[in-house]
Amino acid sequence: MEKGGVGVRVLALCFLSLLHLAAAGRVYDVLRYGAKGNGRTDDSRAFLNAWRDVCADRDNPTLLIPYRARFLVKGLTFQGKCSSSVTVKIDGDIVAPEWFWTNEYVSLMAFHNVNRLTVVGGGEIDGKGKIWWDCFNRKEGKCVNRPNIMSFAFCNDLTLRGIALRDSPSKHLTFFASARISMSRLRISAPGDSPNTDGMLIALCKHVVVSSSTIGVGDDCVAIGSNTTNVTVSNVKCGPGHGFSIGSLGGDSSPATVKRVHFLNSTLTNTTVGVRIKTWMSGGTGQVRNVMFKHINFTSVRKPIQIDQYYCPARNCQNRTSSLTIENVEFAHLHGSSSDELATELLCSKYHPCRGIVMRDVHFTWNGVAPAKSACFNVLSSRSYGRVLPSLNCVAG
């Protein structure tokens, strides 16, 4: 009787496995479409041909980039709408060309209007960014429009899990006009001095979750752009880079709104900025509100906390402060060391002061031992609770 029970359980497990395989649908291997996978031959056409069949499949297909192969591609656009949900399984590696392959602002791999998309796997995508960074630093015109590695536009119900991206010519991941995005276990890396190599930029999106990832780049680890709501970033290790940023906002005349954004339970190490909100000194209208930075540890971070409503990188802005408003921002349980004596900086607009700033148990030292300093002006209706060091003269205790 016991042996029979074991046999039944084995048969049940086999049956469930078969059901899972059936539910996953057909697998479309790019090698079967002529990809060479040798890292030298351009496999772009094979990828696109495979995608054509994947996108037309009505039964939850998978596009497979197989293990132990290295695929050279450039400027791929995977276009929807597709007939069902789609999985892209990146088990092998994908590389960009080691030459200037575009003079347009494009992505190595772009997904457009693809809903119910899942991108998973243990492979790596290498943007081969060094030639682009060197060219950009020399101020050569052909490098103005540097490509990103991956972009997603008008893609709802999107999941990214487990993949690695490195050395993008510009941003590693961009998300535009998409909703219900989940990202986890990502590994994103580039040298700390690589120009404008954000880990990810999220703009015009809503309902986004980023978790359990490691990001070390030359610009913002995570940047939140205009008209974005309901974002949670948690358990992210950031460094090197420019930390976690909202903005810059208001660089043009269109309204810019960011609401309900939470950065939680993360670490920042050797970054040039910690957590910040930045709006242009002269620019559009809009608001940033209901933002939380909570349970974040800082190690040798230059300027751990910053609100800057005087952002003007080219230093040629009109002499007036931002017309965007910043309200209801909480900094809670933030601890660590600042590599700059000025650890906390709240520089708010004279005409649109910050309101509802809350400091709760915030403690920074300068280089780990010395007292740090703060700068604070044009902040109204704000409070501090618990131990707040350095103290802020415009936030009531």
Instruction: Tell me the pLDDT tens digit for each residue of 363-397.
Output: 999 998 899 999 999 999 999 999 999 999 888 76
Task: Name the band, by pLDDT with cuts 50, 70 and 90, for residue 13.
Answer: very low
Q: What's residue 397's pLDDT?
A: 66
Distance of CA 18 to the CA centre of its chain: 36
SS3 for 117?
strand
* Secondary structure (DSSP) of 358-397: EEEEEEEEETTTEEPEEEEESEES-EEEEEEES--TTSB-
How many other C-beta atoms are found inside a 10 Å radius of the C-beta of residue 69? 19
State yes or no: is 207 an active-site residue.
no
Q: What's residue 151's pLDDT?
A: 98
pLDDT digit string, tens, across residues 303-343? 999 999 988 876 666 656 567 899 999 999 999 999 999 99
pLDDT digit string, tens, across residues 85-131? 999 999 999 999 999 999 999 999 999 999 999 999 999 999 999 99
> Which residue type does 251 have?
G
Q: Judging by beta carbons within 10 Å of its beta carbon (0-12, 13-18, 19+), is residue 342 exposed, middle or buried?
A: middle
* Secondary structure (DSSP) of 297-334: EEEEESSSEEEEEEE-TTS---SS--EEEEEEEEEEEE
Q: What angle do CA 241, 242, 244 make, to 5 degrees?
A: 115
What is the overall mean pLDDT for the chain? 92
CATH numbers and ranges of domains, the chain: 82-389 (2.160.20.10)
Q: What's residue 318's pLDDT?
A: 64
> Which residue type does 116 have?
R
Average the pLDDT over each of 53-67, 70-84, 225-239, 319-333 and give the range with the smallest value: 319-333
d(CA 385, CA 380) in angstroms, rounded, equals 16
Q: What's residue 321's pLDDT?
A: 59
State yes or no: is 363 an active-site residue.
no
User: Which one from 43, 93, 198, 219 is the annotated catalytic residue?
Assistant: 219
d(CA 203, CA 192) in angstroms, rounded, equals 23
User: Which one from 126, 167, 242, 340 is the annotated catalytic residue?
Assistant: 242
Q: What's residue 313's pLDDT?
A: 76
Q: How far, CA to CA in Å, does 300 sit from each of 217, 332, 334, 336, 362? A: 16, 19, 13, 8, 16
